[in-house]
Chain A
Amino acid sequence: MEEFLTDQLKTQEYFLNMGPQHPATHGVLRLLLKLDGEIIRNVDMDLGFIHRSIEKMCERNTYKQIIHLTDRLDYLSSHMNNEAVCLLVEKALNIEVSDRIKVIRTMMDELTRISSHVLWWGVMGMDIGALTTFMYGFREREMINDIFEETCGARLTMNYNVIGGLRYDLHENFVKRVKEFIKHFKKKLPEYDKLLTNNVIFRKRIEGVGYISEKDAVAYGLNGPTARGSGISCDIRKIHPYSAYDRVDFEEAIFTEGDSYARYKVRIQEMWQSLSILEQLVDKIPEGEYRVKTKAVIKLPEGDYLQRVEAARGDFGIFVKSTGQKFPYRVKFRSPGFANLTALNKMTQGLKIADLVAVLSTIDIVVPDIDR
């Protein structure tokens, strides 16, 4: 029988569409798979299902109006994206912001990072088939959203940063709520490990799957937790510290295995580090102004500007080319997800379709960030 199968039956490569309406692609992403049986030979992608041309829109908006457009890129790191625009303009115009603003921005960043990673953790488990994680993840996320709602007035697209500071001062409950959250989350993170990190079934699904070497990771431009899973030190918070990151003590989470499990562990480790940053800052929010007065119409001097921040998905960069007008001449959003997604083909060579879902989930893509 065995001989008959190998001699007589011929297999041929075929083509399969995955998405754009597929739960595992985390949005409207279409993957074009070339398969041999169930083995992946090539993954190509088709994007643009929610392309809004935000870069072009920015060319017709003032710098103050651009901020709220960046919320709509990676909506899970909206605070970092807002901050990138503000930092860019503040640096270009030499606006010095108070320590209070810096500390609050840093705390908001870390809360956003935790809420993004918690969502990722829930969805990651669900992609693999562990439905409980989604409920657990959202329970913690809800607490952070409540904190945001009180201070920023919104739960998802906060739009809290403005050029020269913050839109509102902190809500009086902020410190109390953050302390409650730290206490709560410290008890819950070890539970995450018990439920998923050390789960045999889960580990067998992702250990050794989706390997990418350090050399390839650099070549494909990987960044953020995805690159740190391959042993590259690339945390912008460490390399070019902004806001209050130069005065807090934290470790960059790096694992060298390069597989999906390493990328998973990086994000779990990052949540611990974010908690530690929050703990260091929560009692030390300085008094002071929450906003510096700026001109009504902001014009950047002619030139090229680049600002990078560490968003939840990686190295988010804004490049602005200004001709001295109130509108930027050209704005480019360097999206972390787009760079990470380009390496998907490399990571999934020779794997099965079910593994593709696991790998895609550890890259942690957000499609609006990729489409822009």
Chain B
Amino acid sequence: MTNTEIKNKIEKIFEGLVFSGEESDFLRIEANKDKIRDLMQKLKDDGELSFDYLFSLTGVDFGEELGVIYHLESVKTRKLIQITVKTERENAEIDTIHDIFPAAYFNEIEAHEFFGIKFKNHPDLKHLFLPEDWDKGYPMRKDYTDINMLIR
């Protein structure tokens, strides 16, 4: 299955997505954050596409906005796609997908504590890597500064 074929199939089951990178090694998709759960569920359940493996979940500071990049893979076809979701910087909030992909559970905690992206309906957004009493902001954001940071 080529990237263009994947694109056509996804367009049939879901509307309102922006595609790019058909010529490169993986398809890139930009999605609306309100519909991310629906999209993920459909990509996972579709018999032919069956994107059932969450390869990685990356929090990103885009500058004006924050966002999450999901990499989904199909165990059957071994094809990989990249889904980007953006959210506003203040009160960043995205729906959790940990009940669709259990692998997202700890990755969402990580994105929350380093980027301050809140995952709606996640049961326990605790501190995982940082100390329990951490209150100095979100270290992986671009505007974060710390007196202990040697390279600026």
Residues of A participating in the B interface, judged by any CB pair closer than 8 Å? 45-48, 51, 53, 55-57, 60-61, 216, 218-221, 232, 234, 239-240, 304, 306, 315, 317, 319, 321, 330, 332, 334, 338-339, 342, 371
Q: Which residues of B contact A216 (CB under 8 A)?
A: 102
Which one of B53, B54, B80, B103 lies within 8 Å of A306 (CB-CB)?
Answer: B80
Q: Which residues of B contact A304 (CB under 8 A)?
A: 21, 28, 69, 82
Chain B residues with a Cβ under 8 A of chain A:
21, 25-26, 28, 52-56, 58, 60-61, 69, 71, 75, 78, 80, 82, 101-103, 105-106, 128-131, 139-140, 151-152
Q: Which residues of A contact B54 (CB under 8 A)?
A: 221
How many A-B residue contacts, CB cutoff 8 Å?
74
B139's partner among A45, A53, A218 (CB-CB below 8 A) is A53
Report the Cα distance A330→B60, complex, angstroms.
Answer: 7
Are B101's CB and A338's CB within 8 A?
no
Specify the chain A residue showing the minimal Cβ separation from B152. Answer: A60
Knowing A218-B52, A220-B103 touch, does A319 contact B58 (C-beta < 8 A)?
A: yes
Could you name 16 residue pairs across A and B whose Cβ atoms are closer than 8 Å?
A48-B131, A51-B130, A61-B151, A218-B75, A219-B103, A221-B55, A240-B78, A304-B28, A306-B80, A306-B82, A319-B56, A321-B60, A332-B58, A334-B71, A342-B105, A371-B129
> Are A306 and B26 closer than 8 Å at their CB atoms?
yes
Q: Interface of chain A, helix or strand or loop or mixed?
A: mixed
Residues of B within 8 A of A239 (CB): 78
Contacts A47-B128, A321-B69, A338-B106 supplied; 15 other A-B pairs, CB < 8 Å: A48-B129, A48-B130, A53-B139, A219-B52, A219-B103, A221-B54, A221-B55, A221-B101, A232-B75, A304-B21, A304-B28, A306-B71, A319-B71, A330-B61, A334-B55
State whether A47 and B129 are in contact (beta carbons under 8 Å apart), knowing that A221-B54, A317-B55, A319-B56 are contacts in the complex: yes
